[in-house]
Amino acid sequence: MAKYLLLKHYRGAPAPVNDVPMDQWEPEEVTAHVQYMRDFAARLQDTGEFVDEQALTPGGTFVRYDGEGRPPVTDGPFAETKDLIAGWIVVDVDSYDRAIELAGELSAAPGAGGKPIHEWLEVRPFYGGDCVVTE
């Protein structure tokens, strides 16, 4: 088994095929989308592949250390060009192919017109733990 992060972006990923802002969908399409995401997570729990799921708000700030005795420096809200993570699902699966398959399913979530969004998702493998057998 290996863990993978399926990463969703608010922005920064290539534009999806069905690229319509959510507030321009029919209200029922919003409901259907939310339902698809719930069902997807529930299905992963059923198959024993679910690890974690989190969503982030669109806001955020860059922060850095500014030297001894000084408060950290913050860089205001993110610029419009910044790559912005929306959330993630962590799965624990048998193979890389399975992780890709799941990301494909997630990307098929319905959007405007009830058609799949074809959203681009990032699939990132985790580093593994220590191997017991190394030689």
Partner 1 sequence: MNEPLFRELVPEVIGVLVRRGADFAAAEDAVQDALVEAVRRGWPEGESPRDPKGWLITVAWRKFLDAVRADSSRRRREELVDAEPPPGPGAAVDDALQLYFLCAHPSLTPASAVALTLRAVGGLTTRQIARAYLVPEATMAQRISRAKRTVAGVRFDQPGDVATVLRVLYLVFNEGYSGDVDLSAEAIRLTRQLSARTRHEEVAGLLALMLLHHARRPARTAADGSLVPLAEQDRGLWDTRMIAEGVAVLQGALARDRLGEFQAQAAVAALHADAPTAAETDWVQIVEWYDELVRLTDSPVARLNRAVAVGEADGARAGLAALAGLDPALPRYAAVAAYLHERDGDPQTAARLYAEAAESAPTLPERAHLTREAARINAQLRGRAAGH
Return residues touching partner 1 (CB under 8 A).
21-27, 29-31, 34-35, 38, 55, 57-59
Q: State the nearest-atom distance from the C-beta of 131 to partner 1, in Å.
A: 25
Task: Give the C-alpha separation, 46 to 110, whole Å.
Answer: 22
Q: Is 57 exposed, middle or buried (0-12, 13-18, 19+ CB in 10 A)?
A: exposed
The residue among 30 and 123 lying less far from partner 1, judged by its C-beta, is 30
Nearer to partner 1 by Cβ, of 4 and 25: the residue is 25
Residue nearer to partner 1 on the CB measure, 56 or 63: 56
Q: Of 52, 62, 60, 108, which Cα lies nearest the Cα of 84?
A: 60
Percentage helix, strand, coil, to 5, in the chain?
Answer: 30, 30, 40
In the complex, least distance from residue 57 CB atom to partner 1, rounded to whole angstroms: 7
**What's the closest the beta carbon of residue 36 comes to partner 1, in angstroms?**
11
